[in-house]
Amino acid sequence: MVVTVSLILLFGIALFFLLRSKELGPGSAFTAAMFGFLLASTGAAEPINHLTASLADALSNL
């Protein structure tokens, strides 16, 4: 669990700086994919799924 949290933090920081510098390329895609993959295996996955489902529901009701 500690390694997963550390990797999420590492990939999250790297993704933040890549998006901020508008660097788009294979490295950015890999970083984003790894961040999402690792984030899905944490306890944050369920609240994120609920949030996206709520946003989709709200947009469909507009």
pLDDT tens digits along 32-58: 777 777 777 777 778 877 887 888 888
Do residues 5 and 42 lie in contact, with contact meaning Cβ atoms separated by under 8 Å?
A: yes
Within 1-62, residue ranges assigned H as helices are 2-20, 26-40, 45-60
* pLDDT on residue 52: 78
Q: pLDDT band at 28, cuts 50/70/90?
A: confident
Is pLDDT of 61 > 60?
A: yes
Encoded amino acid at 41, one letter: S
pLDDT, average across residues 3-27: 76
